[in-house]
Amino acid sequence: ETGVTQSPTHLIKTRGQQVTLRCSSQSGHNTVSWYQQALGQGPQFIFQYYREEENGRGNFPPRFSGLQFPNYSSELNVNALELDDSALYLCASTFHRDRYGYTFGSGTRLTVV
């Protein structure tokens, strides 16, 4: 049983650029959530996907968007990057009936310069 894998592990982008982060869910999991963890803070919920549709969103602007694919892998897209977007982005998957049984990936460290 594989865990949650995220790619890339590190990324440096310039302000104004766009970025795509990828996540492969744990086997058997059909729900994926994305979290942003700024330095010195706890993870903050961005959104969740189930059956390829967004079914919940945190307090993040529309330039944060996502996709879930039929194989339950997922992408997080961020447009018009800002310096404050620099953070660790965590993907977490679960089976939808196991509401809080999340397995987290190791994250993608995004630096915006």
Partner 1 sequence: DQQVKQNSPSLSVQEGRISILNCDYTNSMFDYFLWYKKYPAEGPTFLISISSIKDKNEDGRFTVFLNKSAKHLSLHIVPSQPGDSAVYFCAAAADSSYKLIFGSGTRLLVRP
Phi, psi of 84 (to 5 degrees): -70, -10
Min dist. Cβ of residue 82 to partner 1 (A) = 22
Comparing C-alpha atoms, which of 81, 79, 101 is closest to residue 92? 101
The correct pick among 85, 86, 87, 105 for binding partner 1 (CB under 8 A) is 105
Q: Does 86 bind partner 1 (CB under 8 A)?
A: no
29, 83, 107 from 74: Cα distances, Å: 12, 24, 13
Q: What is the DSSP letter of 54?
A: E
The correct pick among 11, 30, 65, 104 for binding partner 1 (CB under 8 A) is 104
Residues that bind partner 1 (CB under 8 A): 4, 31, 33, 35, 40-45, 48, 55-56, 58, 90, 92, 99-107
